[in-house]
Structure 1
């Protein structure tokens, strides 16, 4: 989603609130990052889907 699309949906006040909310978030810890890596390492298709009949 582009910045212009977000702005058209949220408006200037909504964008300001989103910026303040994002600034208040703590970055993920190394443990959280490692946990996400393990979760997403197993996701995704490893082999092609069989062709439909």
Structure 2
């Protein structure tokens, strides 16, 4: 995303560019494996079944 300049100027809080916003679905596999504990086979079955 491009913008013309700093949205506001604060003397004691300098503005900086942060990290990019993740793309839709960018971290899905990490969530399915790490948080939900699904195996690769389980994920593939969900994809093939149209669930995810």
**TM-score for both structures, normalised by structure 2:** 0.34
Give the TM-score normalised by the residue count of structure 1. 0.33
